[in-house]
């Protein structure tokens, strides 16, 4: 399916209000916490949630707000940074496989294995053929997780407008409470916006497992859509507490 990100809105529709969305998000977050407790107890499934998006698209905020009702046991967040020398010495999925969820675990990737397509291709460190090879490898990898270990994979692309990104990055300079997030390199990456959009469109089009494209210019709408999708998926698993065998 052809994806044209510039034609997809980054803002919520007029049919939903902030108040309604926030009320629903609170209810979904509560359900996610309840489902997570059953996931942990049942030990049948494990869940991998992937967040990808441009700098300042709100990945940290989504993690904080959607999973706030989950118990700290059996949940883990991992962010993939620049590979170490040891990681560079292996295939690009080696470091990723070590971080995927074990049985009953819920793991959140704040950035993920897709960085090895996105950043690498945008900067010209891999060519089109290598990009295609890695995309094929990722599809097989995710299929292995799903089929061999009952891993439920949900992937969210946080769809941010270029104008809103500028606002968010500027706030990191002007707001003392956000200074710690400021990274001069984010502005340099911003200059490659069009290339990144092309790279994301490629990933969204060629992924075997579907992505949720989440408009994030209004963060309350982001939280609503992500929590809704996750709660509905967990509900569909019919998770149950195990009973004592007599």
* Domain coverage including residue 64: 23-236
Q: Is residue 117 part of a domain?
A: yes
Question: Which CATH number does the domain housing residue 119 bear?
Answer: 3.40.50.300
Residue with tokens 């990723």: 96
Residues 6+ apart with CB under 8 A from 104: 39, 40, 41, 42, 43, 44, 45, 46, 74
Q: How many domains would you assign to the chain?
A: 1
Give me the pLDDT at residue 56, please: 96
Secondary element (H or E) of residue 209: none
Of 60, 80, 54, 84, nearest in space to 189 by CA: 54
Quote the crossing angle between the two packed helices 59-66 and 18-42, to the nearest 10°: 70
Residues 6+ apart with CB under 8 A from 126: 117, 120, 134
Q: Is residue 34 part of a domain?
A: yes
pTM for the whole thing? Answer: 0.96
pLDDT digits (tens, 9 = 90+) for 90-141: 999 999 999 999 999 999 999 999 999 999 999 999 999 999 999 999 999 9
Of 56, 45, 107, nearest in space to 80 by CA: 107
Tokens standing for residue 35: 């489902």
Please provide the DSSP assignment of 213-237 as one string.
EEE-SSHHHHHHHHHHHHHHHHHHT
Q: Is residue 208 part of a domain?
A: yes
Q: Is residue 230 part of a domain?
A: yes
Give me the pLDDT at residue 93, please: 98
Tell me how far apart the alpha carbons of residues 179 and 171 are, in angstroms, rounded to a whole number.
8
Q: Is residue 242 part of a domain?
A: no
pLDDT digits (tens, 9 = 90+) for 155-200: 999 999 999 999 999 999 998 999 999 999 999 999 999 999 999 9
- Residue 245: φ, ψ to 5°: -85, 130
Q: Do 112 and 96 form a contact (C-beta atoms < 8 A)? A: yes
Confidence band, pLDDT 50/70/90 cuts, at residue 243: confident
Q: Is residue 62 part of a domain?
A: yes
Q: Is residue 8 part of a domain?
A: no
């Amino acid at each position: 399916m052809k994806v044209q990100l510039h034609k997809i809105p980054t803002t919520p529709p007029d049919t939903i209000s902030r108040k309604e969305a926030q009320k629903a998000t609170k209810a979904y977050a509560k359900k996610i916490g309840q489902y997570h407790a059953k996931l942990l107890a049942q030990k049948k499934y494990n869940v991998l949630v992937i967040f990808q998006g441009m700098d300042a698209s709100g990945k940290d905020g989504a993690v904080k707000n959607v999973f706030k009702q989950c118990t700290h046991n059996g949940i883990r967040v991992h962010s993939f940074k620049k590979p170490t020398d040891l990681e560079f010495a292996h295939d690009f999925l080696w470091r990723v496989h070590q971080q995927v969820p074990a049985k009953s675990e819920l793991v959140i990737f704040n950035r993920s294995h897709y960085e090895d397509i996105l950043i690498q291709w945008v900067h010209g460190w891999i060519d089109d053929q290598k990009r295609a090879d890695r995309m094929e490898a990722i599809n097989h990898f995710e299929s292995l997780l799903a089929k061999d270990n009952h891993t439920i994979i949900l992937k969210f692309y946080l769809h941010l407008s270029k104008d809103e990104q500028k606002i968010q990055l500027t706030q990191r300079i002007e707001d003392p409470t956000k200074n710690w997030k400021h990274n001069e390199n984010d502005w340099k990456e911003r200059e490659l916006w069009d290339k990144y959009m092309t790279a994301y469109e490629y990933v969204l089009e060629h992924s075997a497992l579907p992505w949720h494209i989440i408009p994030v210019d209004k963060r309350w709408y982001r939280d609503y859509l992500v929590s809704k999708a996750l709660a509905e998926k967990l509900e569909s698993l019919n998770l149950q507490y195990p009973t004592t065998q007599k």
